[in-house]
Structure 1
Amino acid sequence: MFRERVQSYLNLLWTVLEENELFGKSGSVFNMDETGLQLNNHSSHDPGLFQSVTSAEKGETVTLVACCNAEGNFVPPVCIMKGKNKKKEYEDGMPPGSFVYMS
Structure 2
Amino acid sequence: MLRVIVVFLSMTLLVSCSDPVTDAKSAISKLALDGDSVQVRDANIFKKNGVATVTVCGEFNASNVYGGKVGWKRFIASCLNKNCSVDTEESIGNAIEVQWKLHCR
TM-score relative to the length of structure 1: 0.30
Larger helix percent:
2
TM-score w.r.t. the length of structure 2 is: 0.30
Larger radius of gyration: 1
